[in-house]
């Protein structure tokens, strides 16, 4: 086990794929704290975080055992991405469970101005702007995109972002600053108006 603890992640993945279960225990021990913190800070529910944490490692185990792991040199990023995708899947499912059908109502819920803050047209414009911003975020460098998403979409504080990403608060702030500058440049290039500050 002591020898395993000195091995790189990729060596451990290969060892585990070849049948050494202790190798995966080392990977789990090495990354569990940061992975769990990331999930917990995103979902803000310890029971849910534990479930997603377990599902993440089950998916990782299955993928490695089936010989489909191809992320050479990037195990940590790969396992974080699995967790991120499972979190997104969970919230999509919750949103679908809470959606309301307009067919069962005598009153038109979706086009009734009395039941919404803005007109349907205004909401459609907002949705389009949100979609455009989302596309621009995809053009940012990964580190800037990560901080921006945690701050604006997950509403994490800069201290939480620093903890989750394993960087200093100043680094997180710097990445956010450059993300916003890059977004403004993209907006100017595409004649869009951004109100991020």
- Which CATH number do you get for residue 76? 1.10.1740.10
Rounded to 5 degrees, what angle do the CA atoms 27, 33, 39 make?
110
Final residue belonging to a domain, choices 101, 132, 147: 101
**Domain closes at, from 101, 129, 150:** 101
Tell me how far apart the alpha carbons of residues 188 and 149 are, in angstroms, rounded to a whole number. Answer: 21
Q: Any idea what the CATH number is for the domain that residue 122 is in? A: 1.10.10.10
Among candidate residues 61, 79, 101, the one where a domain is terminated: 101
CA 87 to chain centre: 7
Number of domains in the chain: 2
| Sign of the dihedral defined by the CA atoms of residues 45, 48, 49, 50, in that order | positive
pLDDT at 126: 59
Q: How far apart are CA 24 and CA 128, in angstroms?
A: 44
Q: What pLDDT digit, counting tens, does each position of 56-98 carry? A: 998 898 888 888 888 777 888 889 888 888 888 888 887 766 6
Indicate if 29 and 63 belong to the same structural domain. yes
The pLDDT of residue 115 is 43
What local confidence, expressed as pLDDT, does residue 12 receive?
Answer: 92
CA distances from 56 to 49, 88, 91, 118, 185 (A): 10, 13, 15, 40, 36
Q: Are residues 123 and 91 in the same domain?
A: no
User: What is the extent of the structural domain holding 54?
Assistant: 1-101
Task: Identify the DSSP state of 167.
Answer: S
């Amino acid at each position: 086990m002591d020898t395993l603890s000195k091995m790189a992640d990729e060596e451990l993945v290969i060892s585990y794929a070849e049948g050494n279960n202790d190798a995966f225990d080392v990977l789990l021990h090495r990354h569990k704290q940061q992975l769990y913190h990331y999930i917990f800070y995103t979902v803000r529910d310890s029971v849910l975080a534990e479930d997603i944490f377990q599902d993440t490692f089950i998916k990782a185990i299955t993928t490695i055992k089936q010989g489909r792991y191809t992320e050479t040199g990037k195990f940590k990023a790969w396992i974080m991405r699995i967790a991120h995708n499972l979190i997104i899947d969970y919230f999509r499912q919750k949103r679908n469970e809470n959606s309301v059908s307009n067919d069962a109502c005598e009153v038109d819920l979706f086009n009734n101005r009395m039941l919404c803050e803005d007109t349907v047209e205004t909401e459609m414009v907002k949705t389009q702007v949100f979609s455009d911003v989302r596309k621009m975020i995809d053009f940012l460098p990964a580190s800037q995109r990560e901080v921006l998403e945690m701050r604006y979409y997950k509403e994490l504080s800069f201290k939480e972002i620093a903890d989750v990403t394993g960087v200093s608060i100043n680094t997180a702030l710097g990445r956010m600053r450059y993300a916003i500058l890059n977004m403004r440049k993209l907006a100017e290039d595409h004649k869009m108006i951004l109100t991020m500050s």
